[in-house]
Amino acid sequence: MPNYTVKVKWNKETFTNVVVNTDESVLEFKAQLFTLSCVPVERQKIMCAGKTLKDDEWNIPLKNGAVILLLGTSEEILVAPVEKTKFIEDMSESELAQAIELPPGLVNLGNTCYLNAVVQCLRSVPELRECLKEFKQEAGFAAPQSITLAMKGVFDQMERSATVTPIMLLQTLHAVFPQFAQTGEKGTYRQQDANECWVELLKMLQQKLPTRNSETSTTSYPSFIEQFFGGTFDCSMKCTESEDEEPSKLKENFLQLSCFINQEVKYMHSGLRLRLNEQITKRSPTLERDAIYTKQSLISRLPAYLTINFVRFQYKGKEGINAKVLKDIKFPLEFDAFDLCSPELQQKLIPMRTKFKEIEDAAVIEKDQIKMKGDKVEEKKTRALQYYFDEDLGSNNSGFYTLQAVLTHQGRSSSSGHYVGWVRHKGDKWHKFDDDTVTPMASDEILRLSGGGDWHVAYLLLYGPKICNEPIEESKEEATPMSVD
C-alpha cells in the first residue's frame, strides 16, 4: 500500500503527519483534508511542486515529507437569495432542524446508522467533549491514536456544521476493525451491532485519553474512560457442590452493566439484579473438576456516567442471526442505584442523599407556605453541588442518576434494521438523531422506547449524575440595590 506522510499548509496553519494513501481515491483524501480544515471538497484546490491535483488522478509528485498547499476558504460564500421565503409549515424535517437551530446530524454513509447513533450518545457527555478537544496529536499511527483523532475530528466538526459527514471516522474504524467494513452481495456495507461499536470505541479512547485532575482527588485511574465510565464490583463466589470449599472474593471492573431479559423481567432494575446474582460453571480446586458456583456481585464504585446494555439479541444457530427479544422492559428517567451497591459504598452515599432530601423537603414546605399566603412562587437562584466524592473525580457520590441518552434499534436482528440516538437537551426536552435528521422530542416519547413491538426499542442507556441544586440565599445588599444621588 503506497502511503506517504506529508505536511499540508493551509492559510496560516500547517497540518503535520498527514497520511496520503494513493490506493484510495482523490475524493477520499479531500474528505480527510475537510476534517482538518473544514474547507468543503468542492472548494479545495490542492497543489504540490507547482502541479494542481486532479479530481480523478494522483498527478502530483508525492514523497515522505512533501509539502502540499491547500487553497480554499472554510467560510460560506455569501450569495444573493434565489429562493422565495419558505414558511415552517412548508419545510421538510431537515429544513426545520436547521431553521430552529437543532444540533448537527450525521450523514449515513451506507448502513452506518449504528456508528452515528453511538457518536451522538457519547457526545452528550460534556467531560468527554472537553477531553477530546484538549487531545493533542502524537507521533505514529497506532490504532488507539487514529480512532481518538478521528473522534476528535468529528466532535470538532459538529461544533461548526449543521450536518457532518463522518467519512474519516468511518474509514479509521474500518481500518482498525475490519469486521465493521464487511460488505454484502451488492458491495454495500453490512449493518453492524451498535453495542459492539460502542465497546470498541471506548477501548480505543481508554488507551489515549488522560485522566482529569482536581485539587482534592487522590484516586488514580489509567485513563479518562475508567475514571468517568468505569465502575467496580465486589464479587463473592461460593461452590454449591462443596460445603467445605471457602467462598472466594475478588474485584471486577466494568464499563457497562447488563440488563438480562427473561419471562419474569418487566423492569430494568430487576434485569440488573439478575446480573448481580447468577450461577456460573468453573473449575473447583477442592473437587478437581468443573462445578457450579453462585456468584454474587455488589457495586463498590459508581461511575459518573453509567452505561446499561439491554441483552436483547440471542444467537440462533439454524438461522445464523442474532435474533432480537422485543419484550417491553420499562426503564426510568431517574434511576437510583443504591440497592445495587455494597454496604460500604452505601454508607458513603448517604450524606449526599440526605442533602438531596433536605433540599427537596424544604422546597415543598416553602412552596406550600407561599401558596397559603396567595403569593406568587418566584424561581430562586441555585448552585450545582459536586456530584463526585472529593477524593474520586469521575465517581457518583449519591447513587442518583438522570437518563441522558438512549440508543435504540428497530428491526428483528442486530445485523439488520436501523439504529437511532435520543439525547436529552434540557429538562424534559430531547433530540432524536436519525442520522442527519434531527427532531425535537419530549420525555414521554422517550419512555415509549421500552419495547413490546417493532417500534424503536432501547438497546443502550446512558445515565449521567443527577445534579443537586442548592438554593442561594440572597443577602439584603444583593436583594435591594443601593440608590445613587
Direct distance between the N- and C-terminal alpha carbons of the chain, in angstroms, rounded to an integer? 80
- Amino acid in position 45: K
Q: What's the CA gap between 150 and 142, in Å, rounded?
A: 12
Helix (H/G/I), strand (E/B), else coil: 53: coil
Q: What's the CA gap between 122 and 126, in Å, rounded?
A: 9
- Amino acid in position 44: Q
DSSP assignments along 161-202, one per residue: -SEE--HHHHHHHHHH-GGGG-B-TTSPBPP--HHHHHHHHH
Q: Which strands sit side by side in the sheet containing 231-239, from one edge to the other?
A: 248-254, 231-239, 289-301, 277-284
Site of grid cell 415509549: 448
The runs of H, that is alpha helices, within 264-342 are 268-276
Give the pairing of strands 457-465 and 400-410.
Answer: antiparallel
Q: What's the CA gap between 461 and 435, in Å, rounded?
A: 18
Separation in Å, CA 209 to CA 119, 134, 204, 221, 446: 16, 9, 9, 11, 31
Nearest C-alpha neighbor of 170 from the set 208, 123, 252, 113:
113
Q: So which residues are the catalytic ones?
A: 113, 418
Which cell numbers hold the place of 95? 429544513
Helix (H/G/I), strand (E/B), else coil: 417: coil
The runs of H, that is alpha helices, within 374-448 are 443-446
Q: What's the CA gap between 260 and 245, in Å, rounded?
A: 29
Q: What's the CA gap between 232 and 302, in Å, rounded?
A: 7
Is the torsion defined by CA of 156, 159, 161, 162 positive or negative?
positive
